[in-house]
Each structure stands twice: as C-alpha cells, then as structure tokens.
Amino acid sequence: MTIYHIVLFKFKPLVPPEEVKAACNRMLALETNCVHPTTQKPYVKALGGGIDNSPEGTQDLLNPRLMMGNTQQNGMTYAFIHQFDNEDDRKYYLEKDPAHQEFVASIQDILEKAQVVDFTPNVF
C-alpha cells in the first residue's frame, strides 16, 4: 500500500533565502539520509519539492480572509512529496527515524507553519 506524504512549509519572513534553500535541500536529502532499521537501506522516496508557482491563486480559496476580500495568500509556499511503501515505514519515519527527527528539529526556529497531507492512491 503506497502512501504519499505531502508537506507544505511557510518560512518566517526574515529567514534569509540561503537558509530557506539549505532547509529545502535537507528535506530532499531525507531520501538518502533516512535508513530503514532492518534493511539498512534508504526507504523514503523523495518525488520532488520546490517553491509554489501556481498561477491559479486558489491556495487559500477556503480561507475566511479571502472570502472577505483580502487577497493575501496563506503563505504555504514550499511543497514536498515523499512516498512510503507501507504504513510501517511511514510510522517509523514519523516516530523514530533519527534523520527525520534531526531534520524536524533543524527547522523549528525558521518555520512559521507547516501542513501535512498523506494519502493512499484511489482510497476515498
């Protein structure tokens, strides 16, 4: 059962661009830095990540501020997609993987907020 793990970031406004880029590179590096405890091989597939470039302007369609005429975006400007082969791998990643835990700790002070959406294809 494949699981897609989508992570959205909003960095704090005063974080220098080079620090944002370094954090994004560390996020993508989890593909090689996260090693499965049993197989001793990488188990996270990073399908990609980058800065939002959507021309639709609907990132905040349901945001009450937008409904009142304020067009300021919510600010979730960076997106990443990881893939896990199964629930056990995702559970280990979220709860125990030292590389993931180190990454999370490394971005705590520079993130304003994060959002995560996970899904299994064709499960509605």
Per-residue pLDDT, 61: 52
- Looking at residue 72, its pLDDT comes to 41
Per-residue pLDDT, averaged over 9-22, amounts to 96
Q: How confident is the model at residue 42 (pLDDT cuts 50, 70, 90)?
A: very high
What distance lies between CA 88 and its chain's CA centroid?
19
pLDDT single digits (tens) 65-92: 544 444 444 678 999 999 999 999 999 9
pTM as predicted: 0.85
Confidence label for 97 from pLDDT (cuts 50, 70 and 90): very high
3-state secondary structure of 61: coil
Q: Are 113 and 10 in contact, with CB atoms under 8 Å apart?
A: yes
Residues 78 and 46: beta-carbon distance below 8 Å? no
Predicted pLDDT at 58: 63
**Per-residue pLDDT tens over the stretch 50-61:** 999 888 766 655
- The DSSP call for residue 56 is S
CB-side exposure of 57: number of CA atoms within 13 Å?
Answer: 4
Q: How many CA atoms lie within 13 A of 94 on its CB side?
A: 14
